[in-house]
């Protein structure tokens, strides 16, 4: 029973972490291999990316985060 509850908690946490903000179109899985990047429908300069549940305001920061993650 504990395993079932833990699995459910992990699935729900992943679901909520991957929620997109209203007005944005997003692509990607949210991993270093496939960052989830989102562009605002009305302003293409308004973007953000999500990796491992963390939000970044540009791909340079995503690249730095993923490079640091590989080193550790």
Q: What is the per-residue pLDDT for 11?
A: 38
pLDDT in tens, 40-50: 999 999 999 99
pLDDT in tens, 3-16: 444 443 443 344 44
Q: Cα separation of 5 and 7, whole Å?
A: 5
pTM for the model stands at 0.68
Q: What is the per-residue pLDDT for 54?
A: 97
pLDDT in tens, 15-37: 444 568 999 999 999 999 999 99
The answer to whether residues 59 and 49 touch, using CB atoms and an 8 Å cutoff, is yes
């Amino acid at each position: 029973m504990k395993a079932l509850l833990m699995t459910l908690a992990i699935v729900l946490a992943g679901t909520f972490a991957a929620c997109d903000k209203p007005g944005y179109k997003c692509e990607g899985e949210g991993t270093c291999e496939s960052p989830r990047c989102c562009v605002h429908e009305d302003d293409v300069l308004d973007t953000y990316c999500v990796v491992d549940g963390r939000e970044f305001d540009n791909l340079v920061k995503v690249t730095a985060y993923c490079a640091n993650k590989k080193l550790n």
